[in-house]
Amino acid sequence: MNENNFLSKILDYGLKNIFLAKDFLISVLIFILLNLFSYSLCETQKSEFLSNIISVSAALFSIIIMAFAIITTYTDKEYILAWIEIKKYSGLITYFQFYLYLPLVVILIALFNWFFFTQNILFL
């Protein structure tokens, strides 16, 4: 059964391949270190820190969306059809989807943390 939804494509690629990739491990390590560092900050610094994280994540989301738009609109129809023919276009779209979801997740976590930091509740 070959489904074309995002989750099935990620599962076909293998969660082990994703979670053991160097860039993913480095990102998780940086995320953990920054969260540990944020505990020693005062409330105003935490708020500024989280707003910076939200801004950077939103900028990354915009850059990835822009790159996807450029690739899909400025390429020849034959080029995209060739990618489809060799069965690599679906993988390319999956990578864009995955890297679009990551900044959104970071934005949601940062907003969640920002809400709880302003309410004096410590979460992450």
In tens, the pLDDT along 77-102 reads 888 888 888 888 877 788 788 888 88
Reported as a pLDDT band with limits 50, 70 and 90, residue 46 is confident
- Check if the beta carbon of residue 63 is closer than 8 Å to that of residue 69: no
pLDDT of residue 3: 57
Q: Is residue 1 over pLDDT 60?
A: no
Listed in sequence order, the DSSP H helices in the chain are: 6-13, 15-19, 22-38, 43-74, 77-85, 89-118
In tens, the pLDDT along 4-45 reads 777 777 777 777 777 787 877 887 887 777 777 766 777 777
Reported as a pLDDT band with limits 50, 70 and 90, residue 121 is low
